[in-house]
Amino acid sequence: MIQKYVFGHPFETEAVVEKVSPCGGSPAYGEITLNDGFRFTYKMEADDIVYGLGEANRGINKRGYLYISNCTDDPNHTENKYSLYGAHNFVIVFGKETFGLFLDYPGTMEFDIGYTRQDELVIRCENADLDFYVIEGETPYEIVKQFRKLIGTSYIPPKFAFGFGQSRWGYKTAEDFRNVVKGYRENHIPMDMLYMDIDYMDHYKDFTVNPEEFPDFKAFVEEMKEQRIHLIPIIDAGVKIEDGYEIYEEGKEKGYFCKREDGSDFVSEVWPGWTHFPDMLNPEARDWFGGKYETLISQGIDGFWNDMNEPAMFSTPEGVARLKEYLKDFLAEEKEAPGFRLGDEVRALANNAEDYKNFYHKVNGESVRHDKVHNLFGFNMTRAAGEAFRKIAPGKRILMFSRSSYIGMHRYGGIWMGDNHSWWSHILLNLKMLPSLNMCGFLYTGADLGGFNSNVTRDLLLRWLALGVFTPLMRDHAALGTRDQECYRFEHVEDFRHVIGVRYRLIPYLYSEYMKAALGNDMLFRPLSFDFPEDSMALQVEDQLLLGNEVMIAPVYTQNAKGRYVYLPEEMKFVKFMPDGSIYQETLEKGHHFVEIALNEVPLFIRKGKNIPVVEQAECVEDIQMDTMKTIGYEDGAYELYDDDGVSTEASLPQRS
């Protein structure tokens, strides 16, 4: 049961697709006060668990910290951070009382989940203008299913997007791209996608390509397609200010950029230098910007990633002026030791809260200050693309994922988890975010495998890939200046061929489970507690997940470990894909086990009585031979496979076997 309470005059975010009539009175749980903004307080029992918040830091159980919904470009996902790139205001309290809350509010919102007081959940925001949904159900899983219906069906990518992709910030020339494909194909490491980061563009101008490197881009896209590679270019939120650049000229003329209070176009610095932000909240501007994707689609492109759409800002002219003022005083004082303030003042140029108050959107003829609706920008950039795809390529699925998001965006695209590091702890963070994101509708997701920032090591990449084998988005991506991270760069390439090969052996199963989850408003990844709510041990497990209805995953995320401890809430088959192509299977009893897993083995567990399909390894999704399919797991389990053509938007008629 879902109840909706309306406070003040909420901004229409379009997160929700089902109409719920507002009810009067006050919600059955907690206490709400409105005298100083909005404040919800709930007294938690010692054993209550709190789930949700989608893309957020820390655990699956969110208890014990402060989380702030304020889409942020922060490349250091350390434990102390409160905000990441997304804003997903959905939580579930599971305990003596079990209920879900969705707070549809596009500005900054704080979730103090036992941070100030260990026994209190406090949710607050500055303006008491929001839709407050209370969702009741027997279990967290039931609550999620209702919530997912409320917010609409998740995005479905083309099937090739379940293949492996290589990315790196720094690929520039056509030769760079060709070499990566060569590296993979010559070493027979499977691959379907090659990502184009900002350097493919002409001076970082959206929807352009560097004319010197790609004089005939269409032919280049075709050349890659012949090698079964989909090129996936990045699109950034900021439009370069440059006379004669079509998008800039059009946007300026039509008034489609975000404005300052005085009506001038707001300016911010991103990769191209000074840019304007298209007003993604204005339907006309959104339509215009979305239409621009056609420039690349008409050249054969069938996938994109949207970036810097929190929106990220390196600086603004206003910020630079503030800094100059400070520096003038600083230099005049002739201080000997600069102290911390100097560095802080310089760092304050980027993503400064003041700057987010300096520009406006046009919504239904009214001017809306950006900071009030900040968390909707990335959502609407991706929505611009998603809506346009329907017109540009009717009936066809286009790959799309974004960095920033709000609930509702899951209908138009997936997300990747942003700029992580080559740290072991980030394998675990990657794992923990999966179920939380699924709760909020984001099914097509994954992290930069191997880590984006910092230098990778061979063992880290292998272990991370062994988790990536299961995430819908399986992409190796690294930052400029970091150590080479393509799989063929490391010794014993056969190990990488094998681990990524296992992904391809599992694609029929993974795709089938993804589609069932998407079409049924279900989760692909669940905490163990969702299926075993009565098992007090399962409630505490934070490093294993259920995948679909048959599988449990438990990756190794510790350096130099020869295996790991697992908890089995029921008897299961322990399966290892061995480097010689064989599949090891052993029945393990319910309870605790230490399982040995070598660096070049991929483990999974099959739930009691179930089995799953596997096929022979292929080098790209198109080459998967369905007639090599066999099942592993419990012999009498009857797996129902979902399959379709993988490209049409009308999920084509399911062929069940």
Residue 419 in the binding site for ligand GLC (CB under 6 A): yes
Strands 86-87 and 405-406: parallel
Question: Which letter, b or e, does each residue of 441-462 get, where b requires 16 or more Cβ atoms within 10 Å of its Cβ?
Answer: bbbbbbbbbbbbbbbbbbebbb
Least distance between ligand GLC and beta carbon 400 (Å):
15
Q: How far is the CB of 56 from ligand GLC (least distance, A)?
A: 17
135 binds ligand GLC (CB under 6 A): no
The residue with its CB nearest to ligand GLC is 169
Cα(174)–Cα(178) distance, integer angstroms = 6
Minimum Å gap between C-beta 205 and ligand GLC is: 14
- Residue 426 binds ligand GLC, judged by CB under 6 A: no
**Interacting residues with ligand GLC between 292 and 321 (CB under 6 A):** 307
Residue linked to tokens 């996608």? 193
CB of 403 to ligand GLC, least distance (A): 6
In the complex with ligand GLC, which residue's Cβ is closer, 105 or 444?
Answer: 444
What residue ranges in 277-410 does DSSP mark as E strands?
303-307, 360-363, 366-369, 399-402, 405-406
Of 400 and 641, nearer to ligand GLC (C-beta) is: 400
**Cα gap 610→589, rounded to integer Å:** 15
Nearest distance in Å: CB 401, ligand GLC: 11
Q: Residues 225 to 264: which contact ligand GLC by CB under 6 A?
A: 234
What DSSP state is assigned to residue 45? P
**Residue 310 or 601 having the CB closest to ligand GLC:** 310
Pairing verdict, β 360-363 and 611-614: unpaired
Buried b / exposed e over 576-603, threshold 16 CB at 10 Å, is bbebeeeeeeeeeeeeebebebebbbbb
Using the rule CB under 6 A, is 418 a contact of ligand GLC?
A: yes
Contact flags string 144-173 toward ligand GLC, x per CB under 6 A: -------------------------x----
Q: Which is nearer to ligand GLC, 365 or 481 (CB)?
A: 481
Nearer to ligand GLC, 307 or 522 (CB): 307
Q: Considering beta carbons, is residue 240 or 403 the nearer one to ligand GLC?
A: 403
* Phi, psi torsion values for 618, nearest 5 degrees: -135, 165
| Token pair recorded at residue 356 | 């987010």
Dihedral pair phi/psi, residue 462, rounded to 5°: -65, -45
Nearest approach, Cβ of 428 to ligand GLC (angstroms)? Answer: 20
Question: For residue 362, what are the CA distances in angstroms to 156, 238, 276?
Answer: 30, 17, 15
Contact present, 144 and 529 (Cβ < 8 Å): no
Contacts (CB under 6 A) with ligand GLC, residues 464-483: 477
Helix, strand counts (H, E) of the chain:
13, 36
| C-beta closer to ligand GLC: residue 5 or 314 | 314
Q: Which is nearer to ligand GLC, 199 or 371 (CB)?
A: 199
CB 436 within 8 A of CB 55: yes
Q: Which residues of 635-650 are buried (b: 16+ CB within 10 A; e: fewer)?
A: eebebebbbbebeeee
CB of 526 to ligand GLC, least distance (A): 28
Task: Name which position in 197, 269, 355, 601 contacts ligand GLC (CB under 6 A).
Answer: 197
Residue 308 CB, nearest approach to ligand GLC (Å): 6
Separation of alpha carbons 131 and 59, rounded Å: 27
Residue 133 to residue 27: CA distance in whole angstroms = 9
Output the smallest distance, CB 524 to ligand GLC, in A. Answer: 23
- Residues 341-380 binding ligand GLC (CB under 6 A) are none
> Can the peptide bond before residue 311 be classed as cis, meaning omega within 30 degrees of 0?
yes
- Nearest-angstrom CA–CA distance, 637 and 628: 19
Report the alpha-carbon distance of residue 166 to residue 465 in Å, rounded: 12
Question: Which CB atom, from 233 or from 579, has the smaller least distance to ligand GLC?
Answer: 233
Closest separation in Å from C-beta 161 to ligand GLC: 17
Question: Min. distance of Cβ 1 from ligand GLC in angstroms?
Answer: 40
Size of interface with ligand GLC, in residues (CB under 6 A): 9
Residue number, 234 or 381, with CB nearest to ligand GLC = 234
Contact between 206 and ligand GLC by CB under 6 A: the answer reads no
User: Of residues 361, 403, 497, 573, which one binds ligand GLC by CB under 6 A?
Assistant: 403
CA 489-428-480 angle, 5° bins: 40
CB of 198 to ligand GLC, least distance (A): 4
Minimum separation from the CB atom of position 299 to ligand GLC (A) = 20
HEC letters along 602-652: EEEEEECCCEEEECCCCCCHHHCCHHHCEEEECCCCCCCCCCCCCCECCCC
Closest CB to ligand GLC among residues 159, 477 = 477
Say how far apart CA 453 and CA 451 lie, in whole Å.
6
Q: Which is nearer to ligand GLC, 157 or 418 (CB)?
A: 418
Distance in Å, CB of 376 to ligand GLC, minimum: 19
Buried b (16+ CB within 10 A) or exposed e, 133-154: bbbbbebbbebbbbbbebbbbb
How do strand 414-416 and strand 445-446 relate by DSSP bridges?
parallel
Nearer to ligand GLC, 197 or 495 (CB): 197
Asked if 198 is part of the footprint of ligand GLC (rule: CB under 6 A), the reply reads: yes
Contact 354, 257 (CB under 8 A): no
Q: Rounded to whole angstroms, how far apart are CA atoms 404 and 311?
A: 8
For ligand GLC, the closer of residues 270 and 556 by Cβ is: 270
User: Between residues 49 and 313, which has the closer beta carbon with respect to ligand GLC?
Assistant: 313
**At closest approach, how far in Å is the CB of 416 from ligand GLC?**
8
Rounded distance between C-alpha atoms, residue 461 and residue 477, angstroms: 11
Residue 296 beta carbon to ligand GLC: minimum distance, rounded to whole angstroms: 16
Between 130 and 237, name the residue whose CB sits nearer to ligand GLC: 237
Q: Is 58 in the site for ligand GLC (CB under 6 A)?
A: no
Residues that bind ligand GLC (CB under 6 A): 169, 197-198, 234, 307, 403, 418-419, 477
